[in-house]
Structures are given as C-alpha cells and as structure tokens.
Amino acid sequence: MEFKHQATVTLAEVAEAAGVGESTVSRVLRNHGSFSGRTRERVMAAVERLGYVPNRIAGTLASTGSRLVAFVIPSLSNIVFPDVLRGASAVLEENRYQAVFSVTDYDPGKEEALAAAMLAWRPAAVMLAGCEHTEGTVKMLRASGCRVVELLDLDGDALDIAVGFSNRAAGRESAAFLLKRGYRRIGYVGHDLNRDTRAGKRFSSFCETLGAHDAPLVAREILPGASSVENGRLGLERLLARTTDLDAVYFSNDDMALGGYFHCLAQGIAIPSKLAIFGYNGLDIGRATPQPLSTIRTPRVATGEIAAQLVVANAPPQAVDLGFELIEGATA
Amino acid sequence: MEFKHQATVTLAEVAEAAGVGESTVSRVLRNHGSFSGRTRERVMAAVERLGYVPNRIAGTLASTGSRLVAFVIPSLSNIVFPDVLRGASAVLEENRYQAVFSVTDYDPGKEEALAAAMLAWRPAAVMLAGCEHTEGTVKMLRASGCRVVELLDLDGDALDIAVGFSNRAAGRESAAFLLKRGYRRIGYVGHDLNRDTRAGKRFSSFCETLGAHDAPLVAREILPGASSVENGRLGLERLLARTTDLDAVYFSNDDMALGGYFHCLAQGIAIPSKLAIFGYNGLDIGRATPQPLSTIRTPRVATGEIAAQLVVANAPPQAVDLGFELIEGATA
DNA sequence: TTTGCTGTTGGCAGCGCTGCCAAAATGAAT
DNA sequence: ATTCATTTTGGCAGCGCTGCCAACAGCAAA
C-alpha cells in the first residue's frame, strides 16, 4: 500500500492566500525573474503561514532537466564508495542537487537493472564505478542522453566523463616499490577478482611488472567473496602455510592487508624484516597501526567531489586523472 | 545550466506504435489491471523497439504517494551509516523503492534544512538518525504527513516509527561488564559528544553505572571532531600521560578503541592485564585483531532492513528494539 | 497629454503519467 | 439468436509546477 500525503498545500493555494498569481509565487520562491519587494514579502508570509513545501516532483516534470544525481555503486561495505559519496554529496548539496543511490553488489547484471531504474527518474547524471559495463548498460546510458560519470578507473574507454586514476599504474608502482626495496619472493592475497575488476587490473599489472624484473609472483591466495580484514588474515595464514620463503605479500586492499598485518602480529612474524606487507587504498587506520601500513593512497573523496563539480557545471566529456600517492609506511 | 534530456520516448508514442491506448500501455507496464496476452506482446515489442524508459517523475506526480525513501544521515565516514543504508537499500531495491540521501555532518540545523529539501520530493518516508531533532524539524516532519523513521536510538520519544536499541542500556552494560571483570579505575576516551548525541547517552549512562557501584570514572579525554582510529590512539596517549593508574578504558566506539589498542601494542602495554580496552559497535575488524576487541555489537544492517520493511509494509507507528550483543573479546 | 520604456504580474498550456469511467469485446448460458 | 456477466480497452481530466506570452503599471522624456 502506497502512502498518501495529507494536507498538501499547493502553489495555487499560496498564490490565493497571498493575493497574487501562481507564476508570481513561483518566481519569488525560485528567486528567478522579477518581482517587487512588497510582493516578495506577501508571498513569503503566505508560505510561512500555510507551511508550504514546494513539490519538486511537479517542478521537475514541468521544467526540463532534473537536479537528481544517480549513483550506482557496487557496495557500501567497502569504504571506498561511502567516501566517494561523501565527497560528491557535499558538492551536490551546496548546489541544491539531490543524490540518489543503489547498490549492485558487484553484479554487472544488477548494475544494468539498477541503472535502468535510475534512468526512470530522469537524473541529470548517472555515476558508476569503473568503466566495465554490460553492453546493455552502455547502450541504455548512451541512449538516455543523460550525463554519465565513471569513477575510480581510467583504464578503459570512458562513455562521457571519467574521474579517478589508473589502477594498472597503481599495481605497477606497488610492484616497482617492492622490487626497489629488494623483495624478490613476493606473494599475493586477494579477494574475488571477477567481481572487483579494478582489483583485478591492479593485480595483473602487479604481476606483469614483477615478471618484467625476473621476480615473478611466487604464490597467490584468492579468497571468495568480498574483501575484509578477516579474509586478509585467513588468506595470509593459508598462503604462509603453503609457501614458507616469501619475503613480501601484496594485498588486494588495505582491509586485506590489515588482516595480514594482524596475523603477523599474532604469530610474532617480524614486519618487515621477516615479511613485508603492502596494501592499497590508504585508509586512515593504516596510519595508526603500530607500524604505519605501506600502501597506495587513493583520492576517494576528491573523486566524488570532482565528479559532482563536473556534473553541476555541465562540463564537456573528459577524463580527469587524480592520481594516487604511494605511502612508504613501515610494513615494507 | 540544467541538463536537457534528448529523444525522450513517451508513453503516448509507445501506445501509438503498439496501436493501443495510453492506459493500456500503462497497465501492461505496471502489470496492473487486466489486458490480454496479445496486447501485452504488442506493447512490450513497441517498448523494446523504441527503447522506452518510463518516466517515474511523471508517474509519481500523477499517482498519489511516491516510492522514494529519504535518508538524512549525520555522516558517511562513520561506518555505522553506510551499514544502515546497506541494509535498507537491499530491502528497498527488492520492493522497487528508491533511496535518496543527504549528509548533515552531525549539524541539527543542517538536518532541518536537508529534511526540508527532502520533503520537497514527497518521499514515502524520511529516515533520520536518533530521536533528537530541532523543533523546526519535528514540526515539519509532523506536518508533512509522510512516514518518519528514527534510527539507532530508542532513548526518547519517537515521532512515528523507531528502529534500533537503547544507547543508554549499551553504556550501562558496558560499565557493568567492566565492573564484573573487576576493573575499578576506569577512564574514557571519546570524540565530540555534542555532535554525536548517541555517544553522549552511552557515556552518561556508563558514568552513572560506575558511580552507582562506587567506582566513579577516574579520568576522561574528549577529542574534538569525529571519531577515528588516530584520535583514539592520541586520546589514550594523552589520558595515560595524565593518569597512570587506570586499569580499563572505555572508548566512544570501536574506531577509537582500535586506536587505543594500537597505542598499547606500540608502547608494549599489556592488554588486558595492564590495561583493559572496551569499545562499541562490534566492527568486523575487531574480530581480526591479535586479541579480539571487547565491545558491544550493534545491529546496524538489521536496523536498516527492518526500517525499510516497515516502510514498505506501511506498518503502524511503533518502536522496534533490536537490542545489541556484548562481545567479551580478549581486551577486557 | 502622449510616447516609449522598463519592471511586474497573471493566465494558461503543457510536462508524462495514472485513475476513473464508460464503452466495446468476449464468452457462457439460455 | 439473445441475454447477462466479465474481461478488455480507450478517452480524458487531472497531479502541481514552470515557461511563455500578453497585459499592465509606473515613470521619464517629448
């Protein structure tokens, strides 16, 4: 059963109460067009008195173009996406845009269905994670004519606007750093890469770089499901049970890396002398651990901010590379 | 500059292409009312051919009651709120509702402004954190006639629906647990309590309980700003610098507690024999640390789920107590 | 007084859909 | 063939607002 709104005061009622025309009320409330000070006062008084709340559904329908921005994100468990939303929502709120979201659970099919549902709201823009989408999604977004922003991955062709950085470069630099530090027997602990294609890109570039320096990946442990601290801990435990002579482990992200770090603490494995640990994301928590985590800090909040700014400004199609920062830390 | 949608296919065009009336198309698409199988096929074929995407703005305006649910949350940095959103959005998506959100930054004035902006979208429900709101917010929500759900705090009068648990009880039980374990010289490290009133409630009940057992709080360290691991670490460091004989410290939440835990690890302070640590929230990470964190696990995802279910079912006003679980852990 | 501005204002036709109602088609029963 | 009940269908008036246009007022210049 749908909820029915009660006592809905309309523009027309305000107009009548203020003794002016509807369009005058509309102009005053949107502060658009011209009207006298006296009219303004009368309208505002009526608005106040009646407790009028404009109906943006009607307003959006009547005008062309909405102020809704739709986010179709893979997850809310992975702090990455709340961070992006945080950056974006601050900018959007300032500009009187409204954020709408739904969660795909890293499922491309669901992404397509949710994107379609989003388009039904005729948003000003749709923001998606990454640049890998189903054919149907791409076709639909193209046809919609609404702005499309692809976030956090620049390794691919952008549909319209893309904001983020190269995950391949991140994987490459991570490998280069470990090699530079002298690690040669390197392992990997990751989560389900089929779902998180960005983590997959980092991993493959990481491996390529190792291979190019005659230090190919020694072992890997991939855990099903999402990344988590517990999976990181479990993954490292399993990896070390199989492979005893590793000198460094690359993790699919900081959550996983922290799990590995905790495993070492619990087992008395000296870090980084006995085993080095390297993560990805640059979470704040990694700076507060007894040894700061070696990782790559990604511009998550900034990605959201810039994306929102470009949408608000109706900027031309473009790819914005925000880069990332390698944090040397103390675990590698 | 607002974005203008292009090439918008309308219901009327689909109707014409399918050789049926508008209302027939509407019925078929909503699978509501009756129509023949042949009609259905013709309509769906036309929809497919034209790439029609229904306009929910128009649909919502025409019908009474929307399928938007508005979230007005304090923060996206604190994992609590993404967790609530996660639980809620899963249920909402299943029921073809759409989640909309904005972030107040723990500012009651901003909450009022954002709630007003939300009401302009005529949502089916507004979900807010806690039960402390400005007079203006309360008045506006009451007048809106839309469903109001207050989340994560049952210590107060609910406007309509409330889902969560008692923060006071959480504070009380935390204190009781520490006392039962024999700790008597207890300190507190917290973040800005004026903003996070729920943390404030926990703290005051915690103190009352200690006082009632002749073991009043020995010292406290309150850090300005939001909770974070780094602030927790810093807070404990400061507290211990001033007060040397504490045997346990209660933290405003797990983020802060983890910071304290890391400080102890870094300083070689034995846990819990030299100093016990107790948190709040029951984050997953607390189970993966070398010693599992002693804390209270809160039903964050479930809070979102239940809240969404009640809204979808248009349930009568009620307060749902989901309780919480005390995790004994190994740090206290 | 008339003219020509600029600044204000109201009327009203949509925006794209849904809900209501009456009309038409169908089918079963006589 | 006729009747009645049922299913299927189309027409059309809004939902509450915005955007356009015409109308009007006030005022300075002629």
Judge whether B291 and B276 are in contact, CB under 8 Å.
no
The minimal CB distance from B145 to the residues A5, A98, A290 is found for A5
A2 pLDDT exceeds 80? Answer: no
Q: Return d(Cα B87, Cα A31) in angstroms, integer.
A: 39
Give A236 to chain B, closest Cα distance, Å: 12
- The tens digit of pLDDT for each residue in A75-108 reads 999 999 999 999 999 999 999 999 999 999 999 9
For B3, nearest residue in chain A (alpha carbons):
A65
Percentage of chain A beyond pLDDT 70 is 98
- CA nearest A265: which of B291, B10, B316? B291
Q: Confidence band (pLDDT; 50, 70, 90) for B228?
A: very high
Q: Return d(Cα B301, Cα A138) in angstroms, integer.
A: 32
Percentage of chain B beyond pLDDT 70 is 98
End-to-end CA, chain A: 58
A113 pLDDT exceeds 70? Answer: yes
Distance B40 CA to D11 C1' (A): 20
Of residues A2 and B218, more confidence is placed in B218
pLDDT at B5: 41
Q: Confidence band (pLDDT; 50, 70, 90) for A8?
A: confident
Q: Which nucleotide is nearest, taking the CA of residue A33 and each C1'? A: C8
Helices (H), ranges, B181-283: 197-212, 229-242, 254-267
Class of the CATH domain delimited by B167-297: alpha beta
Contacts with A102 from chain B: Cβ below 8 Å: 89, 93, 98-99
Distance A62 CA to C14 C1' (A): 8
Please name the amino acid found at residue B111.
E
Q: Confidence band (pLDDT; 50, 70, 90) for A7?
A: low
Please name the amino acid found at residue B267.
Q
The minimal CB distance from B7 to the residues A85, A86, A145 is found for A145
**Do A89 and B76 lie within an 8 Å CB cutoff?**
yes
Contacts with A94 from chain B: Cβ below 8 Å: none
The CA-based angle A103-A281-A234, given to 5 degrees, is: 85
Q: Return d(Cα B27, Cα A124) in angstroms, integer.
A: 28
**Do A121 and B101 lie within an 8 Å CB cutoff?**
no
pLDDT at B7: 60
pLDDT at B194: 84
B68-165+300-323 shares the fold of B11-54: no
Strand ranges inside chain A, DSSP E: 68-73, 98-103, 125-129, 147-151, 161-164, 186-190, 219-222, 248-251, 276-278, 295-297, 318-321, 325-327
Tell me how many residue pairs between chain A and chain B have CB atoms under 8 A apart: 200
Give A212 to chain B, closest Cα distance, Å: 35
Please name the amino acid found at residue B186.
I
Average pLDDT over residues B244-263: 97
Q: Which of B4-8, B44-48, B234-238 has the lowest mean pLDDT?
A: B4-8
- The tens digit of pLDDT for each residue in A28-76 reads 999 998 999 999 999 999 999 999 999 999 999 999 889 999 999 999 9
Q: Which nucleotide is nearest, taking the CA of residue B12 and each C1'? A: C16
**Do B122 and A55 lie within an 8 Å CB cutoff?**
yes
Homologous superfamily of A68-165+300-323: Response regulator (3.40.50.2300)
Q: Return d(Cα A5, Cα B255) in angstroms, integer.
A: 41
- The tens digit of pLDDT for each residue in B137-178 reads 999 999 998 999 999 999 999 999 999 999 999 999 999 999
Q: To which residue do tokens 């926990």 refer?
A: B202
pLDDT at A274: 97
Q: Nucleotides on strand D with an atom closer than 7 A to protein CB? A: 7-12, 14-21
Contacts with A96 from chain B: Cβ below 8 Å: 117
Q: Return d(Cα A120, Cα B56) in angstroms, integer.
A: 5
- The tens digit of pLDDT for each residue in B309-330 reads 999 999 999 999 999 999 999 9
Average pLDDT over residues B261-275: 97
pLDDT at B75: 95
Contacts with A259 from chain B: Cβ below 8 Å: 288
| Alpha-carbon distances, residue B132 vs A211, A266, B111, B316 (angstroms) | 58, 42, 11, 21
**Do B258 and A96 lie within an 8 Å CB cutoff?**
no
Give B196 to chain A, closest Cα distance, Å: 18
**Do B120 and A54 lie within an 8 Å CB cutoff?**
yes
pLDDT at B52: 95
B269 pLDDT exceeds 60? Answer: yes
Whats the size of chain A, residue-wise? 332
- The tens digit of pLDDT for each residue in A308-324 reads 999 999 999 999 999 99
Q: Return d(Cα A316, Cα A310) in angstroms, integer.
A: 8
pLDDT at B2: 33
A291 pLDDT exceeds 50? Answer: yes
B67 pLDDT exceeds 90? Answer: yes
Tell the CATH topology of A11-54: 434 Repressor (Amino-terminal Domain) (1.10.260)
Concatenated DSSP letters of B135-203: HHHHHHHHHH-SEEEEES--SS--SSEEEE--HHHHHHHHHHHHHHTT--SEEEEE--TTT-HHHHHHH
Q: Return d(Cα B39, Cα B54) in angstroms, integer.
A: 18
B6 pLDDT exceeds 60? Answer: no
Give B195 to chain A, closest Cα distance, Å: 18
Average pLDDT over residues B218-242: 96
pLDDT at A244: 86
A6 pLDDT exceeds 70? Answer: no
pLDDT at B3: 36
Residue extents of the structural domains in chain A: 11-54, 68-165+300-323, 167-297
- The tens digit of pLDDT for each residue in B81-122 reads 999 999 999 999 999 999 999 999 999 999 999 999 999 999
Judge whether A120 and B55 are in contact, CB under 8 Å.
yes
Whether nucleic acid strand C comes within 7 Å of the CB of A34, the answer is yes
**Do B232 and A4 lie within an 8 Å CB cutoff?**
no
- The tens digit of pLDDT for each residue in A210-262 reads 999 999 999 999 999 999 999 999 999 999 999 989 999 999 999 999 999 99
Whats the size of chain B, residue-wise? 332
State the average pLDDT for chain B. Answer: 95
- The tens digit of pLDDT for each residue in B272-295 reads 999 999 999 999 999 999 999 999
- CA nearest B140: which of B113, B121, B161? B113
Q: Confidence band (pLDDT; 50, 70, 90) for A3?
A: very low
Contacts with A138 from chain B: Cβ below 8 Å: none
Whether nucleic acid strand D comes within 7 Å of the CB of A63, the answer is yes
